[in-house]
Amino acid sequence: MTYHEPDEKMIKTAYEAARTAYAALDVDTDAAVARALAVPLSLHCWQADDIAGLERKEKAVSGGGIMATGNYPGRARDAGELRADYEKVLSLLPGKHRLNIHACYLETEGADRDAVQPRHMDGWIAWARQQGVALDFNTTFFAHPLADSGYTLSSADEHVRQFWVKHGVACRRIAEHIARELNTPCVLNHWIPDGAKDSPADRWSPRARLVRSLDEMLDDAHGIDTTLCRDAVESKLFGLGSEDYVVGSAEFYNSYALKKGVLYCLDMGHFHPTETIHDKLSAYLQFHQALLLHVSRPIRWDSDHVVLFNDDLRAVFLELVRGNALDRALVAMDFFDASINRIAAYVIGARATRKAMLYALLDPSGQLRAMESAGQGAHKLAWMEEVKTLPFGAVWDYACHQAGVPVGAGWLRDVDAYEARVLSARG
């Protein structure tokens, strides 16, 4: 199939027509493009290497409900290859970006996870400074011998529990270090995979221990500046190995986040397969100052498929824009697919997410609300339908052009060239 990359005249001509169409609904396309490109989007580091990480290979252990399926050639094998891949991805994406690093990607010089240090992040910080991107961070409570039981912070084994508390505190110090070095707050997300495959007899004790561990980990006595290290806790309904019971459920973490004043993280794939999160946003944001949003795409279960510009994604950003809450959502991506070109997976997912932001910012929300308030339900519904076929694609193409990245499917040419030159040589 021929790559579609219109010339500048075609892009601008189509955009002028689109701008006129949206202006008839009092929508300022120039303002929408500018804001959509300014919203930070945190790219997840783990798509490039199937969540293998950079720890000593003899310590690498799978588990925690994490599994990337497929074996497409070209997986990044070390920090240099990872960074090269991220640079290629960033060159193809419009807008402002961050990179979200898991603790298992620290260059640790052999240190175990309870002993990781801020200096183990310095290679990433130097790279981020060179690339002009900020960094976010994640604790890694999976793929480790002391996570084999299925319980970490909620473990009944005090040695295991304390090991993971120390890991959490160490990661908070690293996040604070990142923020100081890059002069921007660092979001530190805590996803704890603890749970049971089949019906536990005691659901109470692990949750009580998890509260205790989190309280110890987030204690003010550690002296960590929470304006720099922005802690978040992430819920999940179920996963591989925790199909019946997850200690950190949505009810648990929503309550804990409110109690402790930390961010609550909603992952789009961490709920029931028939459940979407867009309706939850207006409820949670009545009580939370902000939310961390993990953009993912489940198929039948929490499978973390590559994000697409689908109804669920559009609905999330429409809700945020209609509630004037886009600046109260910290947006990060979370998916992994090893069955296709990994660079292409990144670009597809990130461009879809940015596209959904722009689509929502072009919504005539004020006019729709006015119709609803006036009791003009039919008019509101009719215009919601009409908006779907406005020339959005021309505005998206213009946004990419303004950002200096390939328009249309032209980015595939760059990915193919990178695969031929770089990925194919990795074996």
The single residue of 50, 55, 234, 397 carrying the catalytic annotation is 234
**304 has catalytic annotation:** yes
User: What does the block give as tokens for 347?
Assistant: 């670009």
**236 has catalytic annotation:** yes
**288 has catalytic annotation:** no
The single residue of 176, 267, 312, 397 carrying the catalytic annotation is 267
The single residue of 50, 55, 231, 304 carrying the catalytic annotation is 304
The single residue of 167, 177, 190, 236 carrying the catalytic annotation is 236
**334 has catalytic annotation:** yes
Question: For residues 356 and 349, what is the distance between their CA atoms, to the nearest angstrom?
Answer: 11
The single residue of 144, 288, 294, 380 carrying the catalytic annotation is 294
CA dihedral for 384, 389, 391, 392, sign (positive or negative): positive
**272 has catalytic annotation:** no
The single residue of 124, 127, 164, 191 carrying the catalytic annotation is 191
**191 has catalytic annotation:** yes
**301 has catalytic annotation:** no
The single residue of 49, 50, 55, 334 carrying the catalytic annotation is 334
**26 has catalytic annotation:** no
The single residue of 44, 120, 177, 270 carrying the catalytic annotation is 270
**46 has catalytic annotation:** no
One-letter identity of residue 195:
G
List, by residue number, the catalytic residues: 191, 234, 236, 267, 270, 294, 302, 304, 334
